[in-house]
């Protein structure tokens, strides 16, 4: 169908998928390009131009950019590698093997992502903190164990806490992909004498590669842009990353430098994205959901069953239950982050007492909290639906529109960018963009709609990556059969693509929900008192030094996130890979 | 409170007249020429109240969550006027006010924020905020807290120590001692690269280079020797402090915990907020301010209040500013109560600071001049960058 039209545009328009691509591009232009243009424009004014040279070439460039860049890349790469290794391994154990309690492991593995990243950093501090910076030492130091500085502070703990956070992201994506591995293929391979390793290398791995790469990219981007972990565990030893530099530049009034750093971050990530795209597109044939169903074969672990299960449990418990308990316990602690000063339920159900936290009521008695919970859930759901629809469209176009590299390439890049724009810059750009009426669209500032739109833009990376790896597994044959039968694009989407990709998309949607529920940096500029959000309340309590209230609200956020993840699993119903394999 | 209401009733007729002839469309006048005095600026509290009642609402951005208490008290004092408060940090307020201006979207009527040097530089000078000094309190305010932007109170970033470990008083008498091997790795502060008030502290030390030089001579008997690329005694002190392994953390509470936690053998000292001392018993800490430190233990900096030049509720906005400055009693009364904490200092000289804390003069901090800071702040930030 593409041979008759000469130009790129002609070919694009001639193809229904191409037309969808154009529509999606237009949406992305509004959601992503405009804020980016705003960023670039503000760095091209005179003070901004100075910022470019300061960051890149001046005497400050080493400590402002190059060193933090090196640290960020290191943290990002280690986070990505660690997350994929642990998350992928766990997904394999849960989906493909006969390990016991797979359901429990699967559930626990989804929790860390629902925890705020500072919870994990806090948990690390509680255990490993040494006396380098004074104050209370951690549990180990209390027991008389000398904790070396490199375990207590710097790149090792930063990367470790980030891996503990993001491996569950890789797990979700990889598990969804593994669940589609065709059992017949594996059986066939085994019958023809392939070893277990060969099966893994030539059948399993190719199928999950896109999901693994997606997981790695997301973990990398989050690892590079995370602020809480390096601020808590890196700063005391002056371990600076791009995110701490960027945050610092913006908070100390050097906004242009912050934006320049953000743009450079975008550039670095784009390079890595293109490189990994190459790796993925080198192997195209990993479509596994064909017209025929396949029963999955279960890999028998034999003697390694016990140890592997124990390892998986250790990993999950130390990254989900332990930090969760620490968070919960510290919301009951009479003194901030101290488990020796007694406990109280005041911060949960206490009546107003002027001597504690300026008379703040316990969170469960505060009508504001109920209001905020409802708004937060409503926002999370709206954004999850919106972002998933858009992300699926992006994924569909990127996967199906072969031969139009400029279109698919730019869509991939655009859908990944919001990750790298600092939340506060994105928020400001959205106010500037939607603050005034545009044509028929009224001024959206201060409305719920603006929160939803900004939320969709910010979580698009998750939704698009999930959409892409979900669509990538649906064989083209299935759709071609439908085309022959006369089904149009919309009908194919509703009847074939969405149902078949639903497992991966649901996983993606729950990621989006979780991300929105605990997002702060973007929403803090956009919310108004009429629209209170739980995460903004947490911040408010934390910034006033009411750590217990902050922790209590964080526990609420965690309950919402974990609840959503569990619910998403339930909705998948009998399609749960581990349940199916168990029966 | 009832006094105010009665006063308002008595002047109602006068107010109506004023509204009719002078204050009819203050929004347009204010927006067109931000420098021009607004007729509303000279109205008394009672006159403002009458017009504010007609507006019925006022919105405020605040960098402190204590605005919730102000909101409740204001609505009790002036029933019928709804306060809509948004609690966001100064940094975020600055970003938000700029973005709102770019979008032409009305933001809050009042902004209550710190980060004075940035506020003056990027909001006041750009006409995104305007100054309003309530006539009721103008005479009680020293000039530097009236202009260029109204300041309601001072907060601090000052050197504090652990009084459990040092019962005989501060272990340091001169800032230069912090650069000695004895204090290597035992001075804690928030990274000035991520928090504006700590950058203000470093900036003030550079601005006070003369005093820093004198303090060096007093301690060591010789003038400061400047390293290559270092231009003043203040800069040299910062460079030496960094070379001496100063510990940088992400927030003030980490400093408080590191310095103040009880049961420490050899606790560090650190720069933090004096008023945080009020949490000592609740948090089992022994934080105490180091006084009589040469040349000064730290800084006091203002919390500022500005009006939106396009305030949708110009009279209610002014009424709220008037309220935030405290009532006519000696403590500022219930209006000021949320901010009446030991270690914070009201700017009004007719309000007695809380007794439990040292008077500002005895604390000995430098009070920053935001205008002067704005000029050198960036250079200091750059110096800090080269130090890592």
Tell me, yes or no, whether A372 and A510 share the same domain. Answer: yes
Residue A562 lies in a domain: no
Contact B249 A133 (CB under 8 A): yes
Tell me, yes or no, whether A334 and A382 share the same domain. Answer: no
Tell me, yes or no, whether A392 and A468 share the same domain. Answer: yes
Cα end-to-end span (Å), chain B: 54
Q: Does the CB of B331 have a partner CB in chain A at under 8 Å?
A: no
Cα distance from B276 to chain A (closest Cα, Å)?
Answer: 9
Task: Give the pLDDT mean for B1-18.
Answer: 39
CA distance A241 to A63: 10
Tell me, yes or no, whether A324 and A447 share the same domain. Answer: no
Number of neighbours of residue A387 by Cβ within 10 angstroms: 30
Could you identify the residue written with the tokens 């469309």? B25
Tell me, yes or no, whether A378 and A256 share the same domain. Answer: no
Residue A254 lies in a domain: yes
Residue A490, C-beta contacts closer than 8 angstroms, at least 6 positions apart:
none
Mutate to test the interface with B, among A251, A346, A542 (most CBs of B within 10 A): A251
Of the candidates B235, B207, B234, B191, which has an alpha carbon nearest to the alpha carbon of residue B388?
B191
Residue A138 lies in a domain: yes
Residue A253: both structure tokens together:
């009034």
Cα separation values, A417 from A213, A216, A278, A393, Å = 16, 15, 18, 17
Tell me, yes or no, whether A126 and A241 share the same domain. Answer: yes
Domains B5-154+301-358 and B156-300+373-387 share a fold: yes
Task: Give the pLDDT mean for A40-57.
Answer: 85
Q: What is the 3-state secondary structure (H, E, C) of chain B?
A: CHHHHHHHHHCHHHHHHHHHHCCCCHHHHHHHCCCCCCHHHHCCHHHHHHHHHHHCEEEEEECCCCHHHHHHHHHHHCCCCEEEEEECCHHHHHHHHHHHHHHCCCCCCEEEECCHHHHHHHHHCCCCCECCCCHHHHCCCCHHHCCCCEEEEEEEEEEEEECCCCCCCCCCCEHHHHHCHHHCCCEEEECCCCCHHHHHHHHHHHHCHHHHHHHHHHHHCCCCCCCCCCCCHHHHHHHHHHHCCCEEECCHHHHHHHHHECCCCCCCEEEECHHHHHHHHHHCECEEECCCCECCCEEEEEEEEEECCCCCCHHHHHHHHHHHCCCCCCCCHHHHHHHCCCCCEECCCCCCCCCCCCCHHHHCCEECCHHHHHHHHHHHHHHHHHHC
The total domain count for chain A is 2
Residue A479 lies in a domain: yes
Q: Three-state SS for A97?
A: strand
| Radius of gyration for chain A, computed over Cα atoms and rounded to the nearest angstrom | 24
Exposure of A389 by Cβ count < 10 A (0-12 exposed, 13-18 middle, 19+ buried)?
middle
Sequence-separated contacts (24+) of B232-235 with Cβ below 8 Å: B232/B206, B233/B209, B234/B205, B234/B206, B234/B207, B234/B208, B234/B209, B235/B206, B235/B209, B235/B380, B235/B383
In this prediction the ipTM stands at 0.77
* Residue A238 Ramachandran class (φ > 0 left, ψ -120 to 50 alpha, else beta): left
Return the minimum-mean-pLDDT range out of A225-239, B115-129, B177-191.
Answer: A225-239
Contact A232 B250 (CB under 8 A): yes
Tell me, yes or no, whether A325 and A207 share the same domain. Answer: yes
Strand B269-272 vs strand B187-190: parallel, antiparallel, or unpaired? parallel
pLDDT for residue B3: 42
CA distance A233 to A149: 11
Residue A561 lies in a domain: no
Tell me, yes or no, whether A177 and A238 share the same domain. Answer: yes
pLDDT for residue A580: 40
Instruction: Evaluate if residue A3 carries a pLDDT over 60.
Output: no
Q: Which of A134, A240, A433 sits opposite B268 (nearest CB)?
A: A134
Contact A251 B264 (CB under 8 A): no
Strand B150-162 vs strand B57-62: parallel, antiparallel, or unpaired? unpaired
Q: Which of B92, B248, B386 sits opposite A525 (nearest CB)?
A: B92
Tell me, yes or no, whether A156 and A104 share the same domain. Answer: yes
Task: Give the pLDDT mean for A178-202.
Answer: 77
Percent of chain B with pLDDT over 90: 71
pLDDT for residue B181: 96
| Radius of gyration for chain B, computed over Cα atoms and rounded to the nearest angstrom | 23
Q: Are A162 and A75 in contact (CB under 8 A)?
A: yes
pLDDT for residue A524: 76
Residue B308: both structure tokens together:
């939106």
Per-residue pLDDT of A80-139, as tens digits, reads 999 999 999 999 899 888 888 888 888 888 888 878 777 788 778 878 888 777 666 777
Per-residue pLDDT of B267-304, as tens digits, reads 999 999 999 998 898 888 999 999 999 999 999 999 99
Q: Does the CB of B92 have a partner CB in chain A at under 8 Å?
A: yes
Q: Does the CB of B309 have a partner CB in chain A at under 8 Å?
A: no
Q: Are B92 and B117 in contact (CB under 8 A)?
A: no
Cβ-based contacts of B248 with chain A (< 8 Å)? 235-236, 238
Task: Give the pLDDT mean for A403-416.
Answer: 79
Residue A429: both structure tokens together:
């750009």
Class of domain B5-154+301-358: alpha beta
Cα distance from B349 to chain A (closest Cα, Å)?
Answer: 26
Q: Three-state SS for A397?
A: helix
Contact A358 B66 (CB under 8 A): yes
Nearest residue on chain A to B269, judged by CA atoms? Answer: A134
Percent of chain A with pLDDT over 70: 88
Instruction: Evaluate if residue A422 carries a pLDDT over 80.
Output: no
Residue B226, C-beta contacts closer than 8 angstroms, at least 6 positions apart:
B232, B233, B235, B236
Residue B261 β-bridge partners = B285
Say which DSSP state A89 is in.
Answer: H
Query: Cα–chain-centroid distance for residue B272?
Result: 14
Instruction: Evaluate if residue A381 carries a pLDDT over 90.
Output: yes
Q: Does the CB of B166 have a partner CB in chain A at under 8 Å?
A: no
Domain B156-300+373-387 falls under CATH 1.10.357.10 = no
Q: Does the CB of A507 have a partner CB in chain B at under 8 Å?
A: no
Say which DSSP state A254 is in.
Answer: -
Q: Are B140 and B350 in contact (CB under 8 A)?
A: yes
pLDDT for residue A452: 94
What average pLDDT does chain B have?
88
Q: Are B202 and B380 in contact (CB under 8 A)?
A: yes
Q: How confident is the model at residue B35 (pLDDT cuts 50, 70, 90)?
A: low
pLDDT for residue A296: 58
Residue A5 lies in a domain: no
Q: Does the CB of B56 have a partner CB in chain A at under 8 Å?
A: no
Q: Are A137 and A129 in contact (CB under 8 A)?
A: yes
Tell me, yes or no, whether A32 and A122 share the same domain. Answer: no
Tell me, yes or no, whether A317 and A401 share the same domain. Answer: no
Cα distance from A250 to chain B (closest Cα, Å)?
Answer: 8
Cα distance from A368 to chain B (closest Cα, Å)?
Answer: 12
pLDDT for residue B44: 94
pLDDT for residue B32: 36
Sequence-separated contacts (24+) of A51-54 with Cβ below 8 Å: A51/A254, A51/A256, A51/A257, A51/A259, A51/A260, A52/A260, A54/A257, A54/B382
pTM equals: 0.82
pLDDT for residue A297: 61
Q: Are B268 and B187 in contact (CB under 8 A)?
A: yes
| Chain A contacts in chain B segment 232-291 (CB below 8 A) | 247-250, 252-254, 257-259, 261, 264, 267-268, 270, 276, 279, 282-284
Contact B188 A133 (CB under 8 A): yes
Q: Three-state SS for A143?
A: coil
Number of neighbours of residue A3 by Cβ within 10 angstroms: 7
pLDDT for residue A280: 65
Residue B319: both structure tokens together:
């009424």
Residue A314 lies in a domain: yes
Q: Does the CB of A63 have a partner CB in chain B at under 8 Å?
A: yes
Q: Does the CB of A354 have a partner CB in chain B at under 8 Å?
A: no
pLDDT for residue B16: 35
Instruction: Evaluate if residue A257 carries a pLDDT over 70.
Output: yes
CA distance A255 to A47: 10
Q: Three-state SS for A504?
A: helix
Q: Does the CB of A64 have a partner CB in chain B at under 8 Å?
A: yes
Out of A348-362, B97-111, B176-190, the most confident range is B176-190
Per-residue pLDDT of A133-144, as tens digits, reads 766 677 788 778
Domain regions of chain B by residue span: 5-154+301-358, 156-300+373-387
Angle (CA) A319 A323 A326, round 5°: 160
Residue A245: both structure tokens together:
């530099």
Q: What is the 3-state secondary structure (H, E, C) of A410-445?
A: HHHHHHHHHHHCCHHHHHHHHHHHHCCCECCECCCC
Instruction: Evaluate if residue B337 carries a pLDDT over 60.
Output: yes
CA distance B316 to B312: 9
Contact B338 A358 (CB under 8 A): yes
pLDDT for residue A254: 83
Residue A554 lies in a domain: no
Residue B320: both structure tokens together:
């709220």
Task: Give the pLDDT mean for A172-187.
Answer: 78
CA distance A427 to A58: 30
Residue A378's CATH number: 1.10.3720.10
Q: Which domain holds residue A373?
A: 15-39+362-543
Could you identify the residue written with the tokens 């154009």? A22
CA distance B195 to A536: 19
């Amino acid at each position: 169908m593409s041979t008759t039209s000469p130009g790129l545009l002609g070919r694009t328009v001639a193809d229904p998928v191409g037309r969808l691509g154009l529509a999606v591009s237009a949406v992305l232009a509004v959601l992503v390009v405009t804020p980016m243009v705003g960023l670039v424009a503000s760095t091209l004014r005179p003070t901004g131009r100075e910022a470019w040279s300061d960051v890149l070439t001046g005497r400050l460039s080493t400590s402002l950019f190059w060193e933090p860049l090196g640290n960020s890349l290191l943290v990002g790469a280690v986070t990505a590698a660690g997350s994929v290794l642990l998350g992928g391994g766990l997904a394999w154990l849960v989906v493909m093997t006969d390990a016991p309690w797979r359901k429990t492991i699967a559930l626990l593995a989804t929790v860390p992502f629902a925890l705020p990243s500072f919870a994990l950093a806090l948990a690390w501090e509680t255990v490993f903190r040494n006396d380098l910076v004074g104050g209370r030492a951690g549990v180990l130091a209390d027991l008389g164990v000398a904790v070396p500085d490199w375990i207590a502070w710097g790149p090792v703990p930063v990367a470790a806490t980030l891996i503990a956070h993001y491996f569950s992201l890789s797990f979700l994506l990889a598990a969804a992909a593994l669940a589609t591995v065709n059992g017949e293929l594996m059986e066939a391979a085994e019958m023809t004498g392939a070893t277990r390793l060969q099966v893994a290398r030539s059948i399993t791995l190719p199928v999950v590669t896109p999901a693994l790469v997606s997981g790695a990219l997301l973990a990398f981007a989050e690892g590079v842009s995370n602020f809480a972990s390096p601020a808590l565990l890196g700063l005391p030893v002056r371990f600076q990353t791009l995110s701490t530099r960027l945050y610092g530049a913006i908070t100390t009034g050097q906004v242009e430098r912050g934006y320049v750093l953000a743009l450079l971050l975008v550039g670095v990530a784009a390079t890595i994205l293109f490189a990994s795209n190459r790796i993925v597109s080198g192997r195209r044939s990993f479509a596994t959901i064909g017209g025929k169903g396949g029963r999955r074969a279960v890999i028998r672990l034999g003697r390694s069953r016990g140890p592997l299960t124990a390892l998986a449990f250790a990993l999950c418990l130390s990254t989900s239950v332990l930090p969760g308990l620490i968070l919960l316990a510290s919301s009951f602690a009479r003194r901030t982050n101290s488990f020796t000063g007694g406990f109280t339920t005041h911060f949960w159900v206490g009546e107003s007492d002027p001597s504690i936290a300026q008379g703040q009521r316990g969170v469960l008695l505060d009508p504001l909290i109920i209001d905020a919970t409802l708004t937060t859930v409503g926002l999370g759901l709206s954004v999850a639906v919106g972002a998933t629809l858009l992300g699926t469209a992006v994924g569909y176009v990127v996967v199906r529109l072969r031969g139009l590299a400029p279109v698919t390439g730019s869509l991939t890049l655009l859908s990944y960018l919001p990750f790298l724009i600092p939340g506060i810059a994105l928020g400001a750009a959205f106010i500037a963009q939607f603050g005034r009426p545009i044509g028929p669209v009224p001024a959206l500032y201060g409305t719920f709609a603006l929160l939803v739109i900004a939320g969709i833009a910010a979580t698009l990376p998750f939704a698009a990556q999930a959409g892409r790896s979900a669509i990538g597994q649906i064989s083209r044959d299935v759709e071609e059969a439908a085309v022959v039968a006369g089904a149009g694009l919309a009908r194919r989407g509703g009847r074939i693509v969405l149902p078949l990709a639903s497992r991966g998309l649901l996983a993606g949607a729950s990621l989006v929900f979780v991300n929105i529920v605990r997002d702060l940096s973007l929403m803090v500029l956009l919310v108004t008192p009429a629209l209170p959000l739980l995460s903004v309340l947490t911040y408010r309590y934390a910034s006033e030094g009411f750590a217990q209230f902050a922790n209590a609200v964080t526990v609420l956020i965690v309950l919402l996130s974990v609840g959503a993840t569990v619910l998403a699993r339930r909705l998948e119903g009998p399609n749960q890979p581990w349940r199916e394999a168990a029966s | 409170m009832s006094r105010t209401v009665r006063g308002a009733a008595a002047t109602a007729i006068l107010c109506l007249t004023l509204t009719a002839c002078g204050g009819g469309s203050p929004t347009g006048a204010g927006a067109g020429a931000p420098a021009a005095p607004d007729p509303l600026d000279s109205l008394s509290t009672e006159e403002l109240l009458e017009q504010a009642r007609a507006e019925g609402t006022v919105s405020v951005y605040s960098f402190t969550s204590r605005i919730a208490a102000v909101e409740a008290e204001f609505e009790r004092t002036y029933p019928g006027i709804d306060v809509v408060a948004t609690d966001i940090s100064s940094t975020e307020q600055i970003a938000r006010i700029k973005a709102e201006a770019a979008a032409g979207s009305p933001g809050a009527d009042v902004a209550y924020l710190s980060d004075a040097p940035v506020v003056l530089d990027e909001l006041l000078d750009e006409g995104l905020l305007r100054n309003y000094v309530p006539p009721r309190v103008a005479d009680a305010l020293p000039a530097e807290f009236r202009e260029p932007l109204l300041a309601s109170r001072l907060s601090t970033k000052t050197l504090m120590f652990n009084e459990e470990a040092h019962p005989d008083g501060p272990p340091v008498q001169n800032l230069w001692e912090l650069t000695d091997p004895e204090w290597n790795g035992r001075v804690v502060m928030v990274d000035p690269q991520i928090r504006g008030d700590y950058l203000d502290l470093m900036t003030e030390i550079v601005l006070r280079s003369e005093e820093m030089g004198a303090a060096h001579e007093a301690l060591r008997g010789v003038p400061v020797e400047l390293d290559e690329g270092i231009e003043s005694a203040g800069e040299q002190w910062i460079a030496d402090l960094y070379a001496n392994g100063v510990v940088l953390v992400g927030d003030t509470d980490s400093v408080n915990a590191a310095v103040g936690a009880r049961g420490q053998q050899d606790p560090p000292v650190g720069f933090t907020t004096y008023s945080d001392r009020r949490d000592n018993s609740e948090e089992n800490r022994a934080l105490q301010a180091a006084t009589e430190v040469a040349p000064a233990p730290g800084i006091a900096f203002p919390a500022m209040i500005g009006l939106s030049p396009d305030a949708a509720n110009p009279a209610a906005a002014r009424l709220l500013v008037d309220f935030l400055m405290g009532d006519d009693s000696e403590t500022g009364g219930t209006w000021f109560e949320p901010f009446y904490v030991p270690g914070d200092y009201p700017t009004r000289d007719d309000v007695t600071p809380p007794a439990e804390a040292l008077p500002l003069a005895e604390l000995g901090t430098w009070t920053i001049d935001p205008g002067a800071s704005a000029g050198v702040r960036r250079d200091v930030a750059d110096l800090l960058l080269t130090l890592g």
